[in-house]
Amino acid sequence: MRALDKLSPEECQRLIVADNVRYFGSKAANVTEFVLQRWDLEEWSRGGPVAITPPNVLKENGHALRTPVDGIHFAGTETSEYWTGYMEGAIRSGVRVAKEILRAKI
């Protein structure tokens, strides 16, 4: 992110869209909305590596983080049922979402 600190939001968008086109093809250039969220500049999160919740919050409400919304699936260490906050949790959630998407396409 530090390399992007010197760029305007418009320049960041241009570079990010160009990368997406390179990885995913020309359809990725058709951006209808772009939001650049800098968590490291947010007053309350301060860019922390993982979310910190009180005891039992994720146990009781974590399903809400894992529920797809309008075809959008959510992955990340905070959405993992096991090893939340660790790389293992991020990998597990990525595998979970890949399976969800494959099931949805069948």
What residue numbers does the annotated binding site for FAD cover? 78
Q: Which residues fall in the annotated binding site?
A: 78
Rounded CA separation 5/23 (Å):
23
DSSP per residue, 1-25: -GGGGGS-HHHHHHHHHHHHHHHH-
Residue 74 near residue 66 (C-beta atoms within 8 A): yes
Sign of CA dihedral 15, 91, 49, 44: positive
